[in-house]
A and B are shown apart, each in its own frame.
Chain A
Amino acid sequence: MSTVMQREAPPATTGTVETFTVKVNGREVVVPRTTPDPVSGQALATTMIQACAAVGVEVPHYCYHPKLPVAGNCRMCLVEFGTPALGPDRQPVLNPDGSLQIRKSPRPAIACATPVSPGMEIYTETAGVKQMREAVLEFLLVNHPLDCPICDQAGECKLQEYALDYGRSASRFEEVKVHKPKAVDLGPRIMLDDERCILCTRCIRFTRDVVGDDALGIVNRGGYNAIAAYPGRQFDNNYTLNTVDLCPVGALTSKDFRFQMRVWFLKETKSLCAGCATGCNILVGSRADQVYRFTPRANDAVNSGWMCDAGRLNYRWIGREDRLQTPESRRSGARHWSAVLEELAAVLEGAPPGSVAIIASARQTSEELYLLKQLAAHLGARTDSLPRIGEEDKFLVHEDKNPNSNGARLLGVCYTEMGINLPYVVQDIEAGKIRTLIVFGEDLTREEWELPEGWLDKLETLVVSDILPNGLTKRAHFLLPGCAHVEKRGSFINAHGRVQRFMKAVEPPGDARPEVELLGELLHRLTGTPLPASLEGLFNRMCADTPALKGRTWADLGDQGVTVPV
């Protein structure tokens, strides 16, 4: 992949923008003369479709997308309009009652590309407009294969939706439809069906203007127009799957989600991507406690409306067969939460101060890290978490692969430079000063941490909480199975200090429990004081105790999160 990614330019508008009044279906609305272009940030004239959106009037459209440059090729958004009439003296003509006389345009205009002007009136619900929509839709369906039963887009397809509103019950087309290639391999993650394509060019504009990888184009002429990748090239940048969301029909489909589940069965839960510190907002599509797909959720402060392919496909492990499901004390053989936590609390109670260390993970939620910090304070334990650095690009992917590094820093689990404490902890373990180690969500036996041979052998007690079995969980004396982030609620703080929350989509397997529950119970046993029973209460308590989060509440976060200084 040889692409130049561009970070989205900030809006270039300076100062106040001139505003004026237009009417949409008789309702007045004040609109700015210019609106920043979603990609370049350049000030462009405000269009009719934006004025309609401002009063909540939806104009049917295929090629227009609020986050992409305007193409104006589908013609679905045709509307009628009128402008103030001018007399021979170039002055507005007034009605007898003193209002502006409106001269209705003899021709319709596409709402997505026509600028509004002062006093303009837009009509989106007239009989003429309805007729135009019906005619445009009939043309779009001329060569459409109508294979909805085998199309993955069915259920979230704009053609289906508008066909219901403006379509005919039977086709008038008597000729033979043009057949184009089906199931075309466009790239490693994208399947193309040229017959279904309505040539709106959203995918072309997205990959060219937003991603900066000019990989797609239209080839052939007339009825044989087809989307294709540049000859000899694959459509394989890290943002290809966004074109599947953008495609208003079923032309571009995801190979990963291909024929997996019909979309109307999927329960959509607001969540976050845990793949890196960007914290893209997502929807988790699940059915019967199985996750089927991640799709991006719009948040202009974080990911606009996009996400990378790597993050989107990072869900398969959640349903793995070998997930840790049963709590275990390998000393007594206890396999129930109450027995295991009771035994663990007794062990920790007896540990002298300074003989315990806690290694947390910056992939955990802020609430879990807060409880671990409380545990550390009670036990007099040293804490740290581990850095996870990878490749970044100039668009969404962050080099920090931990979703909650700033949470770990703000809550005092680690220093600004993560992992700086770990060598000293290991030194103290080897020297026999630290006898008990508590590890959450990190496999310290992996070679990338470069720890000395045999350092675990000196430990008296190893407590491990994780999701999947690994080298460290095999050595643990106490094993506490936890949850993937789609199986619990919580919050992350992203690289730019955005505090965002995520909701529970599916149930955890077996006896696995959200870490806040098991940590809360453990702390209750150790300190004798119960913690807030709900996650909301815990979050609010955490904010009250943390200077950087002071005054924030769970309810404040909403769907889009709030920004705190980091």
Chain B
Amino acid sequence: MIVPRRKLSFLERLYLPAILSGLRVTLRHFFRRKVTMQYPEERWVVPEGYRGAPYLVRDQHGDTKCVSCQLCEFVCPPRAIRIVPPGPDGPPADRPNAEKMPKEFEINMLRCIFCGFCQEVCPEEAIFLQQDYSLTGLARGEMIYDKEKLLDLGGIHQDRHLKWQRKHAEAESQKVSPPS
């Protein structure tokens, strides 16, 4: 298709009116409200439900909620999660009747794609995508977060169910099974 080229008028060929109207737009912005954020000194407010970095949480009693079921490791698309289960002689779980707790739990934040599958699949509500979006480090090794770091960053999650504590209380109150 051929687009016929319009003949320019004299004023248009003069070029200056266009420059001036451009300058007017720029000038107008000097007197408007400023929208630029001075990142990283200034940070935006992260909205509710934002999918930032996944961290492990403790419940309100300070117990590690993860029981090392490894479903997050299984579902993780970029295989960023690596869990070492406790084995038969591993460290005892924080809640005695939960029986187990990971010996090691690593998330490679360089691999993580913040998809939230781990949070969705977790049967214990032990991992949540939180509000951190800017993770930096000086070496690759620093970007592999271990269990302690993940728990420290994750903080406390107010657990409404306290499943294991409730089960424990129920079993204690029954005490009917004769000792084996």
B123 touches A259 (CB 8 A): no
A262 touches B170 (CB 8 A): no
For B98, the chain A residues whose CB sits under 8 A away are 150
User: Is B70 part of the contact surface with A, judged by Cβ < 8 Å?
Assistant: yes
Report which of B71, B85, B180 forms a contact with A261, defined as CB distance below 8 A: B85
Report which of A178, A219, A224, A260 forms a contact with B87, defined as CB distance below 8 A: A260
Which chain B residue shows the least CB distance to A253? B88
B177 touches A262 (CB 8 A): no
**A145, A183, A224, A259 — most chain B CB neighbours (10 Å):** A259
For B123, the chain A residues whose CB sits under 8 A away are 148-149
Report which of B88, B167, B177 forms a contact with A255, defined as CB distance below 8 A: B88
For A194, the chain B residues whose CB sits under 8 A away are 177, 180
Contacts A259-B100, A262-B70, A265-B70 given; indicate if A176 touches B85 (C-beta within 8 A).
Answer: no
Q: On chain B, which size bracket covers the interface? A: 20 to 34
Contacts A149-B69, A150-B98, A150-B99 given; indicate if A260 touches B88 (C-beta within 8 A).
Answer: yes
In the complex, A148→B70 CA distance in Å? 12
In the complex, A250→B94 CA distance in Å? 22
**A149, A182, A226, A255 — most chain B CB neighbours (10 Å):** A149
Contacts A256-B88, A258-B87, A261-B85 given; indicate if A179 touches B100 (C-beta within 8 A).
Answer: no
1/0 contact string of B102-138 vs chain A (CB within 8 Å): 0000000000000000000001100000000000000
In the complex, A194→B116 CA distance in Å? 36
In the complex, A458→B26 CA distance in Å? 99
For A180, the chain B residues whose CB sits under 8 A away are 177
For A259, the chain B residues whose CB sits under 8 A away are 68, 85-88, 90, 99-100
For B179, the chain A residues whose CB sits under 8 A away are 181
A182 touches B97 (CB 8 A): yes
For B81, the chain A residues whose CB sits under 8 A away are none
1/0 contact string of A164-179 vs chain B (CB within 8 Å): 0000000000001111
For A184, the chain B residues whose CB sits under 8 A away are 180
**B67, B171, B178 — most chain A CB neighbours (10 Å):** B171
In the complex, A156→B76 CA distance in Å? 21
User: Is A264 part of the contact surface with B, judged by Cβ < 8 Å?
Assistant: yes
Report which of A179, A228, A258 forms a contact with B171, defined as CB distance below 8 A: A179
Report which of A150, A181, A183, A224 forms a contact with B67, defined as CB distance below 8 A: A150
Which chain A residue shows the least CB distance to B97? A182
In the complex, A261→B102 CA distance in Å? 11
A154 touches B69 (CB 8 A): yes
User: Is B174 part of the contact surface with A, judged by Cβ < 8 Å?
Assistant: yes
Report the number of A-B residue pairs with Cβ-Cβ less than 8 Å: 68
A179 touches B87 (CB 8 A): no
Interface of chain A: mostly helix, strand, loop or mixed: loop
Report which of A228, A256, A258 forms a contact with B180, defined as CB distance below 8 A: A228
Contacts A183-B99, A184-B180, A261-B85 given; indicate if A177 touches B170 (C-beta within 8 A).
Answer: yes
User: Is B50 part of the contact surface with A, judged by Cβ < 8 Å?
Assistant: no
In the complex, A220→B176 CA distance in Å? 11
In the complex, A539→B70 CA distance in Å? 41
Q: On chain A, which size bracket covers the interface? A: 20 to 34
For A264, the chain B residues whose CB sits under 8 A away are 74
Which chain B residue shows the least CB distance to A178? B174
A226 touches B177 (CB 8 A): yes
For B170, the chain A residues whose CB sits under 8 A away are 176-177, 179
For A182, the chain B residues whose CB sits under 8 A away are 97, 99
For B68, the chain A residues whose CB sits under 8 A away are 259
For A224, the chain B residues whose CB sits under 8 A away are 176-178
B88 touches A258 (CB 8 A): yes
For A219, the chain B residues whose CB sits under 8 A away are 178
Which chain B residue shows the least CB distance to A179? B171
1/0 contact string of A473-484 vs chain B (CB within 8 Å): 000000000000
For A148, the chain B residues whose CB sits under 8 A away are 69, 123
For A261, the chain B residues whose CB sits under 8 A away are 70, 85
Which chain B residue shows the least CB distance to A227? B180
In the complex, A228→B85 CA distance in Å? 28
1/0 contact string of A232-250 vs chain B (CB within 8 Å): 0000000000000000000
In the complex, A224→B178 CA distance in Å? 9
Distance to closest chain B CB from A293 (angstroms) = 12
A150 touches B85 (CB 8 A): no
In the complex, A344→B174 CA distance in Å? 73
In the complex, A148→B86 CA distance in Å? 16
Which chain B residue shows the least CB distance to A256? B88
Closest 3 A-B residue pairs measured CB to CB?
A179-B171, A149-B69, A258-B88
Known: A178-B174, A226-B177. 20 other contacts (CB 8 A): A149-B71, A149-B123, A154-B69, A179-B177, A180-B177, A181-B180, A182-B97, A194-B177, A194-B180, A219-B178, A224-B176, A224-B177, A255-B88, A259-B85, A259-B86, A260-B88, A261-B85, A262-B69, A262-B74, A265-B70
Between A and B, 20 residue pairs with Cβ closer than 8 Å are A145-B167, A149-B71, A150-B69, A179-B170, A179-B171, A179-B177, A181-B177, A183-B99, A194-B177, A226-B180, A256-B88, A258-B87, A258-B88, A259-B87, A260-B87, A262-B70, A262-B74, A265-B70, A265-B73, A265-B74
